[in-house]
Chains A and B, each alone.
Chain A
Amino acid sequence: MTPDSPQKKHHIQILVENRFGVLTRVAGLFSARGYNIESLSVGQGIDPSVAQMTIVTVGDDRVVEQITKQLNKLIDTIKVVDLSESSFVSRETVMVKVNTTTRPEDRQEAFRIAEIFRAHIVDTSPSTYTLMVTGEEEKIEAMIGLLRPLGIKELVRSGAIAIAREEPRHATRTQKHDGELPA
């Protein structure tokens, strides 16, 4: 076989029939063939008979080629796009419930971090704040890193959703894509 190409993160957008059991078909395909799912998010599309999935997966070129082909082969998939082949926007939402009473300054500190990352405080109690932020993966990781010393009680991530950029297609594969480190 050809020499193994490096492992890379890929954002794959899938349009599927909005029917029961389709999610299992997609998820089952990944588990049956030993592919990774880093995150998966599903929702209804513009047309209510279509559901939109964004899957983030990691693999070398050969594996990702197989993933997209195998997804296409499912009868219920309408369209499969590997967004990582061109320019795209990816965002994820995270909600973090953080302790604010470990140290006296923590309540102020949590508030400051929320401001810096433009997070919303969506819930509060005398001893906690719940922060919600939307952004690229790096931003979310950075915020979680800063909140960790305060003591994270609970953390929920939505999984990435992604969309192709609408622009003249002069972007090449080696350019830095939004939401992805340069290869």
Chain B
Amino acid sequence: MVKMTGAEMLLECLKKERVSQIFGYPGGVVLPVFDALYKDPSLSVVLTRHEQGAVHAAEGYARTTGEVGVVLVTSGPGATNTVTGLADANMDSIPLVVITGQVPTKMIGNDAFQEADIVGISRSCTKHNFLVRSISELPRIVKEAFYIARSGRPGPVLVDIPKDVITDRGDFRYPETLTLRGYNPTVQGNRWQIRKAAQLMAKAKKPVLYVGGGVIASDSHEELSELVSLSRIPVTLTLMGLGAFPGTHPLFMGMLGMHGTYAANMAVHHCDLLIAVGARFDDRVTGKIAEFSPHSKVIHIDIDPTSIRKNFRVDVPVVGDARLILSDLLEDLRKIRDEEGLTPLEPWHQQIEAWKEEHPLTYKKDPEVIKPQFVIEKTFDLTGGDCIVSTDVGQHQMWTAQFFKFLTPRTWLTSGGLGTMGYGFPAAIGAQRAFPKRRVIAVTGEGSFMMNIQEMATVASLEIPVKIIVLNNQYLGMVRQWQEFFYGSRYSSSFIGQSPDFVKLAEAFGVAGFRATRADQVEEVLLKGLSTKGPVLMEFMVDPEENVFPMVPAGGSNIEMIFEAPPPAPAKGGKTGRKEKDAVITA
């Protein structure tokens, strides 16, 4: 057996787990690990400019590759800066292993310099976490961390390693197998339940497939596509599910929920069978839960048993891996087709087409002012959808989700559950590191971008050719939209017109910068920006008061979508307030 230090041992463990890319930031107690990395060319490190950026970059890497993203940071503030990223990955089921340094074992609890109880702090925003208490348990814990991160419902795992464990010497032996008697995720779905689901699917007259990020996490988009070809059941995707089914497919209805399409929300409301696959009935999807999909039987396929019946009733729960369950389901459904035939769905398809025509996704075009949706549409046209797109959080995120047609899985990176502003740009860095040859575009707003703008130094110094699209409307747009609709247009703390000159700022960082201020410049700037080598920032001065439609007001029923701003409340004396119902479509 080979004697090595804890630092060396850690790197050996990472290599055993097929890690080649680390995102990190050095500091006091992890210096020995960075020293070992310096001597080891097989592990590449992206030095971000903030630990939060490192975690989001690892998320982008993990989501695009399907591998575990790895982060290495120091103790104290280094560790606490990862918390937002951990919470984000925890909500969106992104597999990460985040390694934090810790003060020496003997000093833990003494309020030592750069000490933080990160295991305590991160307990509720990780899938699991570990404090390594001696070098002898280091290999086992790293192996368990990777296994837990990538299996079952994936998620972030934090491993806290004290300085003395890092510098200690010990025999290295990587365990071949592991036993976690308390952790044994169900992967194979119950055959009897699957058969019941298949029978319901064969009989339903108005079925809908409601598909979430689980289909991407389990790489089951091919099974999904086969299932749709066989059953002809129309599909709606959640924000996290985009890319799991081609956005241009005739049976695709668009996204559902708060900013979903009219057709998708109407179909879910009127369906007689709702088949949820790898989705968790999030409040942004369901709207008012009591009025969500009121006429349907519900099949819920998910790997996480706690997702089932957490928010919504379920008739046929199937716990397990979506890929295995969907292929079993296909088998059963084929048998039913051959023996009894499937229910024809043409009338249902026609109804959905009618809804699609009634209220397609649209916006008011303008020859002068740049409409943000126009920038997204143009980006899709110019790239043909052949790129990886990340977003931050807010209006630009919803416009990208609506107007960019995602064709393949793992090309869409967004912060769905936590809604983390500042996620998108570093996530794009991680994706670009994973796929150096592919085009990676970060769509952001001038608000979100400022939250991790320091990463411009990262892309400039490592020549990571991420293309940044800033849709600058001078407002925290989604906040402003809510204030306009529900707070009498009192724009409290949402105007941020004093943003820096982003083009000059980009240049100062060493990133090429272009700006468009008129609609006729959009295509030119996009062409120039997308064809320029290296990292590029493109700023589009867009309509400041453009809104995201359709919209289901928070707490409202999904069929009460609004397509235009509700009229303002009468100035005085109006007892009823604004006449919201005028703009409300009720089915």
- With A and B bound together, what is the CA distance between A77 and B124 in angstroms? 15
Q: Please determine whether A72 and B290 come into contact, CB atoms closer than 8 angstroms.
A: no
Q: Please determine whether A62 and B123 come into contact, CB atoms closer than 8 angstroms.
A: no
Question: Is the CB of A171 closer than 8 A to any CB of chain B?
Answer: no
A69's contact among B120, B124, B131, B306, by CB below 8 Å, is which? B306
A2's contact among B131, B182, B310, B313, by CB below 8 Å, is which? B313
Q: Please determine whether A76 and B313 come into contact, CB atoms closer than 8 angstroms.
A: no
Write the A44-86 contact mask toward B (1 if CB under 8 angstroms, else 0): 0000000000000000001001100110111111100000000
Closest to B181 in A: A78
Question: Is the CB of B148 closer than 8 A to any CB of chain A?
Answer: yes
Write out the residue numbers on chain B whose beta carbons fall within 8 Å of the beta carbon of A25.
123
Write the B98-133 contact mask toward A (1 if CB under 8 angstroms, else 0): 000000000000000000000110011001100100
Q: Please determine whether A65 and B182 come into contact, CB atoms closer than 8 angstroms.
A: no
Write out the residue numbers on chain A whose beta carbons fall within 8 Å of the beta carbon of B289.
1
- The segment from A16-24, A87-95, A102-110, A144-152 that touches chain B is A16-24
B306's contact among A2, A21, A73, A78, by CB below 8 Å, is which? A73
Q: Please determine whether A1 and B290 come into contact, CB atoms closer than 8 angstroms.
A: yes
Closest to A74 in B: B182
Write the B393-412 contact mask toward A (1 if CB under 8 angstroms, else 0): 00000000000000000000
Write out the residue numbers on chain A whose beta carbons fall within 8 Å of the beta carbon of B495.
none
Q: Please determine whether B312 and A24 come into contact, CB atoms closer than 8 angstroms.
A: no
Contact A32 to B124, CB < 8 A, known contacts A72-B305, A77-B182: yes
- With A and B bound together, what is the CA distance between A25 and B309 in angstroms? 23
Within the complex, what minimum Cβ distance (angstroms) separates A71 from chain B? 10
- With A and B bound together, what is the CA distance between A150 and B183 in angstroms? 52
Write the B423-443 contact mask toward A (1 if CB under 8 angstroms, else 0): 000000000000000000000
B183's contact among A21, A65, A75, by CB below 8 Å, is which? A75
- With A and B bound together, what is the CA distance between A17 and B180 in angstroms? 10
Question: Is the CB of B304 closer than 8 A to any CB of chain A?
Answer: yes
Q: Which residues in chain B, 170-197, are within 8 Å of chain A measured between CB atoms?
A: 180-183
Contact A75 to B180, CB < 8 A, known contacts A1-B289, A24-B123, A32-B124: yes
Q: Which residues in chain B, 272-308, are within 8 Å of chain A measured between CB atoms?
A: 289-290, 304-306, 308
Closest to A62 in B: B309
B304's contact among A1, A2, A62, A73, by CB below 8 Å, is which? A73
- With A and B bound together, what is the CA distance between A65 and B313 in angstroms? 13
Question: Is the CB of A43 closer than 8 A to any CB of chain B?
Answer: no
List 30 A-B residue pairs with CB atoms under 8 Å apart, sorted by A's residue number: A1-B290, A1-B311, A1-B313, A2-B313, A16-B182, A17-B182, A21-B119, A21-B131, A24-B120, A24-B123, A25-B123, A28-B123, A28-B124, A32-B124, A62-B309, A65-B309, A66-B309, A66-B310, A69-B306, A69-B308, A70-B306, A73-B304, A73-B306, A74-B182, A75-B128, A75-B180, A76-B182, A77-B182, A78-B181, A78-B182
Instruction: List residues of chain A with CB under 8 Å of any chain B CB.
Output: 1-2, 16-17, 21, 24-25, 28, 32, 62, 65-66, 69-70, 72-78
Instruction: List residues of chain B with CB under 8 Å of any chain A CB.
Output: 119-120, 123-124, 127-128, 131, 148, 180-183, 289-290, 304-306, 308-313
The list of the 10 closest CB pairs from A to B, nearest first, reads: A69-B306, A75-B128, A78-B182, A75-B183, A32-B124, A69-B305, A77-B182, A78-B181, A76-B182, A2-B313
